[in-house]
Amino acid sequence: MTGRQLISSGGPWEDIIGYSRAVKVGDSIWVSGCTGTLADGTVAEGIVAQARRALDVAGGALAQGGARLQDAVMLHIYLADFAEFESIYPVLQEHFGKTKPAMTAVQVAALISPQHRIEIEVQAVAGSALD
């Protein structure tokens, strides 16, 4: 078994709190929860834009580990309001339609701020995409 590779987004909270954006062991990669926070610190407007941004961040972390979103085997989706889940179906279909990872989606009491509508964790196995 190969060692542990810590993948960083370069954000300050990783050092302040003591976590990694993602961790790779062997071909498996676990990506921490990603939100709709933009590079300038503001939050994308609406759940669709936030879902796209969260998946962009997750995809960047996976790329650092030699994988891509199509290598996803499990998604955990945390929603501020489950009634908004249907509006992101097209975003999920666009990224995972052929891959069809396992998935859990739940409504939570709160996310990191009231502006955040969604947080997405991704687990992937590099090289496992179906295409």
Residue-wise pLDDT for 83-96, tens only, equals 999 999 999 999 99
pTM: 0.94
Q: In terms of pLDDT, which residue wins out, 1 or 32?
A: 32
At 73, which amino acid appears?
V
- Which strands make up the sheet holding 118-125, listed edge to edge? 4-7, 22-25, 28-34, 118-125, 72-79, 102-107
End-to-end CA distance of the chain: 26
User: Which CATH architecture fits 4-125?
Assistant: 2-Layer Sandwich (3.30)
Tokens 């947080």 belong to residue: 119
